[in-house]
């Protein structure tokens, strides 16, 4: 199958599982402007690589302007055979269907009314679901146990107060967030200060991932998978500013290996469509409402048998039930 045929097939797949575009296509001039922006980003990233990889990436890229366009933001698929610095050459770029879904999620987020946030307030999130852990029995065998992840959490918007977590009827104060937050323990203000440009945001996230999961580390996750997981964690934070949320979705579209799962069920039993990335026999899925492109939750599914279970086993699944900004820890929106 040729490149053009594969992309057309992916676009047809996207049309089957995604809601219709919320707005009409913009004028051709605005599409061209968006195209030029992405081409400039390709050249910028190519120049940052070694001369050999930079030359190869400029020769081998292809470009498709998607039909689902809104608010002047064209869906663009960059089919680079070198997806990002240090990425394995055999990992394909994000599929057209996943890029289209992520763009619609970004547009939905960008049109969400901005919440006015002031010092002293808290971001609130309520989740349900489970995670899995392996435990050794007295007989020396490994047993898979599920841990309940139903909880409520209140995080100081500027990190000035400790986080309150309510789980199984018990309240616990978590360690503070020095410096107002980071990628592992984000606050609302930290998220609001992240770059809005997808290329710059990906570099910020990948630089952090490279330190702990890149070449020379003992990690088997790798920077690309770690970047995808990090973005998913930030999106599930509860209250992420709309502009940041939109940027995170568009950043995920730049990560190689991202694809779509047409049918997925979150921890609350809600059906949706998922953006996913498979690594080391496990598929991490972000589940979206099919009609609104709103994030419902995330889960990890085994795609091959391993110590955690048989292929198809859902080893973790967490759904966001409610979120908002409140004045005091312990309050509900």
76-131 tens-digit pLDDT: 333 333 334 444 558 899 999 999 999 999 999 999 998 899 999 999 999 999 99
Task: List all residues 6 or more positions away from 313 whose beta carbon is below 8 Å from its beta carbon.
Answer: 301, 302
Residue pair 102/20 in contact (Cβ under 8 Å)? The answer is: no
- What percent of the chain is modeled with pLDDT above 70? 71
Structural domain includes residue 156: yes
- Tell me what pLDDT residue 264 has: 98
CA atoms of 330 and 154, how far apart (whole Å): 7
- Tell me what pLDDT residue 319 has: 97
Structural domain includes residue 32: yes
Decide: helix, strand or coil at residue 254.
Answer: coil
Tell me how far apart the 2 most distant CA atoms of the chain are, in Å.
69
- CA 223 vs CA 76, 104, 264: distances in Å: 23, 25, 26
pTM for this structure? 0.75
What domain range is 292 assigned to? 3-326
- CA 152 vs CA 116, 147, 322, 330, 333: distances in Å: 22, 15, 9, 9, 12
Residue pair 284/300 in contact (Cβ under 8 Å)? The answer is: yes
Say how many residues make up the chain: 333
* Higher pLDDT, residue 145 or 143: 145
Residue pair 163/171 in contact (Cβ under 8 Å)? The answer is: no
Structural domain includes residue 333: no
Structural domain includes residue 259: yes
Q: Report which of 184, 300, 278 is spatially closest to residue 222, judged by C-alpha positions.
A: 278
How confident is the prediction for the chain on average, in pLDDT? 79
- Tell me what pLDDT residue 47 has: 37
Structural domain includes residue 332: no
- Tell me what pLDDT residue 144 has: 82
Domain count, the chain: 1
């Amino acid at each position: 199958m040729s490149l053009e045929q594969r992309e057309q097939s992916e676009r047809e797949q996207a049309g089957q599982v995604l809601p219709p575009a919320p707005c009409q296509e913009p004028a051709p001039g605005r599409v061209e402007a968006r195209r030029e922006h992405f081409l400039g980003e390709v050249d910028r990233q190519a120049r940052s690589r070694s001369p050999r990889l930079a030359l190869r990436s400029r020769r081998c890229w292809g470009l498709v302007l998607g039909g689902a366009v809104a608010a002047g933001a064209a869906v663009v698929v960059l089919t680079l055979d070198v997806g990002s610095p240090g990425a394995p050459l055999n990992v394909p770029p994000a599929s057209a269907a996943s890029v289209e879904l992520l763009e619609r999620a970004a547009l939905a987020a960008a049109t969400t009314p901005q919440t006015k946030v002031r010092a002293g307030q808290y971001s609130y999130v309520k989740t349900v679901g489970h995670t899995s852990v392996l435990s050794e029995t007295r007989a020396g065998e490994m047993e898979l146990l599920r841990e309940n992840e139903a909880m409520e959490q209140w995080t100081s918007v500027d990190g000035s107060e400790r986080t309150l977590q309510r789980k199984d009827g018990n309240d616990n104060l978590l360690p503070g967030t020095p410096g107002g937050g980071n990628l592992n323990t984000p606050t609302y203000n930290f998220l609001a200060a992240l770059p809005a440009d997808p290329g710059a945001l990906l570099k910020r996230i990948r630089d952090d991932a490279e330190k702990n999961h890149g070449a020379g580390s003992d990690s088997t996750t790798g920077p690309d998978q770690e970047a995808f997981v990090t973005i998913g964690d930030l999106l599930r934070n509860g209250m992420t500013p709309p502009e940041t949320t939109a940027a995170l979705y568009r950043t995920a579209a730049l990560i190689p290996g991202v694809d779509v799962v047409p049918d997925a069920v979150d921890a609350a039993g809600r059906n949706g469509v998922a953006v996913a990335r498979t690594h080391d026999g496990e598929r991490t899925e972000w589940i979206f409402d099919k009609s609104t492109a709103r994030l419902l939750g995330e889960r990890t599914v085994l795609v091959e048998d391993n110590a955690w279970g048989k292929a198809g086993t859902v080893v973790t699944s967490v759904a966001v039930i409610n979120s908002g900004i409140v004045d005091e820890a312990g309050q509900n929106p």
